[in-house]
Each structure stands twice: as structure tokens, then as C-alpha cells.
Copies of this chain bind each other. A is one copy, B any other.
Amino acid sequence: MNENYDFIKACYCQPVARTPVWLMRQAGRYLPQYRKIREGVTFLELCKTPELAAEVTLQPIDALGVDAAILFSDILVPIEPMGQRLHYRPAPVLEPPIRSESDVAALRVLQPEQDVPYVFEAIRLLRRELAGRVPLIGFGGAPFTLACYMVEGAGSRHFLALKRLMYQSPEIYAQLMDKITDTSIVYLRAQAQAGAQALQIFDSWGGILSPADYQRYVLPYSRRLLTALEDLGVPLIHFVKGAGNMLELVASAGGQVVGLDWCMALNKARDILGDKMAVQGNLDPSVLLGNQTVIEREVRRIIDENAGRPGHIFNLGHGILPEVPPENAAFLVDCVHRLSQP
């Protein structure tokens, strides 16, 4: 068995020779070879061109030696065919914002292979090009995070339009969440069927809610999504940023792995989640702006906090920052491998 499949084994809490590691946004702007490709195309063109998406997906595998590839794409890609125009300026903008019952009614559920064939083409291409070197992760946004973007029409500091809808018009909110969940299910199923060997659900904004609101307004949809993906036989990673205070709720949605941001101690998270749930994380991405002494210290701390428990995938607690020197990212991967061996 390829030693790189340590990633898959760790997802199922099986023992591994050394801790597998990959980095969220590992195909991205901190890499000069990525910036070179981006000189010629827009972000969305890159997402929609399988050969280029595959090329940037592979860049960090060679440059860093990470244990998994993650498809280069964006969580908003499946939203465009639902009926909102998508632009990047450079932050994403969705027009028109979804605010009313008729706005929701006008949205249609994604037909994956017809609407976004380039995603699955990139996955098929990558599986051929990877040739078993490392497994390929597919991904999508959690329904709540997609709803945040769709209702606000953009990123936001407080997501007040979304919260107004949620608190003032819970029925319209529920209709929207149902439609997004339906889309997410077929979209992620199609990724696995095209060859994705694991799936990560990104709930970037789930942590803006109180645990009570998360339980009421988010969890039912995330649980429906994860349940509908169970029979695919690929590990499911559920990352809710800012959810350290409600990890037991996050875990109750299903899946094999809970993603952790850096705002909680890994040992505490593992104590809460128990032996059967794997964890992924949780280095503060800004540590990679420091020097090698600081990076090694922090990697050692996290590995020590895990205390040899099976089921740990090392990662950042959020996406890698564009300002990170690539050699620091490579040093991090090396540290994880070196320090996690017995």
C-alpha cells in the first residue's frame, strides 16, 4: 500500500507510520508557480479549465510533499448554475442577493455533470495524473456557508441580511437551505463518483452562530448532507470554523473527521470527540510567517497534544496565507513527518 494513503487510514482512526499532513488552500497564491498560472487567467477561468485546475492542484504535491491533493476549485462554483451570477472582484460577489420567497423559488437545484462538467473532468484528469501518489480530496461548502454568501451577495462582517432572514422569515430561510442542501448532495456525490477519494465540507461561517442557533438553523441541513454521502465509502471531513465551543454538535452531524481551527487545544478537542472521530488541524496559519524555531515549536506542541492517538491529520486551522514563504510551508510538512515518527 502506498504510504501516502496514511491520510485515508488516519481519517478512519487507523494507526499510521507518521502523521499525514496537507494544508487548506495549499494550491494558492503563496506559490510563485501558482501566481504564474494566474497571470494568464482569472480565478473563475482557472476553476473552469480542467487542465489548469489539475496543474495547480498538483503544484503543492511536488513543492511541499503533502500527503493529499485537494481539487482546486471554489465553494461557490455550484451556486452559479443555481441562478446567481458569480464574479470575483477579487472577493466573490453573487447577484442578485437572495432575500425573498420568490428569489428562493427561482433557484434551481444543480445538475452536476450538465452544469459544472469541468469539475468532474478535473477530478478524472487528476486521478490519472496522480496515479496513486496521494489521494485526491473533493470539497464543497456547507449549506449554511453557501446561504451566507447567497443572501448577503458577498462576504460580510456580521452577515446581518442572513440573520435577518433567519430570524424574521424562518420559512423562507428553510426553503433556501433545503434547496442548497439538495444541490450540495448531488454535487458532492458526483465528485466522489468522478474519483474524489475523500470529501471535505467547509462551513466557514457556522461559528458565527450561538450553539443554540447552530443546532436550530444549521445542524439539520449539515446532518442531512453528511448522511446522504455516507454510502459513498469515502471519508467525510466536516470543518466548521469557530465551532470549538460546540464540537459535540458538529460531530453529531456525521462524517469521520472533524476539522479544527487553531482556537482550541487539540487534546481538549479529542477528549470531547472521543476515540472514534478523527480530527484535522490545527496550526494557526500565521505561525508560518514566523521562523523555523517557532514553526517547529508549534508543530511539536500539536503533536504532543495529540499524544499518539490514531486519527490525526495535521493541517492549518484555516487556509494558508498568501504572505507565507513557500519554504516555511515545506518546512512545516517536513516537521510534521519528522516529529510524528516514533
Q: For the complex, what is the distance from the CA of A242 to the CA of B164, rounded to whole Å?
A: 23
Interface of A is mostly: helix
Q: Are B290 and A164 in contact (CB under 8 A)?
A: yes
List B contacts of A290 (CB < 8 A).
163-164, 167-168
What is the CB-to-nearest-CB distance from A281 to chain B, in angstroms, rounded to a whole number?
A: 10
| A330 interface hit (Cβ, 8 Å) | no
List B contacts of A213 (CB < 8 A).
284
Q: Are B294 and A211 in contact (CB under 8 A)?
A: no
Q: What class of interface size applies to chain A in its complex with B? A: 35 or more
Which of these, B167, B211, B265, B285, contacts A212 with CB under 8 Å? B265
Q: For the complex, what is the distance from the CA of A289 to the CA of B161, rounded to whole Å?
A: 9
Q: Are B212 and A160 in contact (CB under 8 A)?
A: no
List B contacts of A168 (CB < 8 A).
289-291, 294
Q: Are A265 and B286 in contact (CB under 8 A)?
A: no
Interface centre among A159, A168, A207 (most CB of B within 10 A): A168
List B contacts of A285 (CB < 8 A).
158
Interface residues of A (CB under 8 A from B): 158-160, 163-164, 167-168, 207-213, 242, 244-246, 262-265, 268, 282, 284-287, 289-291, 294, 298, 301, 317, 321, 323
Q: Pick 19 A–B contacts, CB within 8 A, sort by A.
A: A158-B285, A158-B321, A160-B323, A163-B284, A164-B289, A167-B287, A167-B294, A207-B263, A210-B263, A210-B265, A210-B317, A211-B263, A213-B284, A242-B242, A244-B245, A245-B245, A245-B263, A245-B265, A246-B265
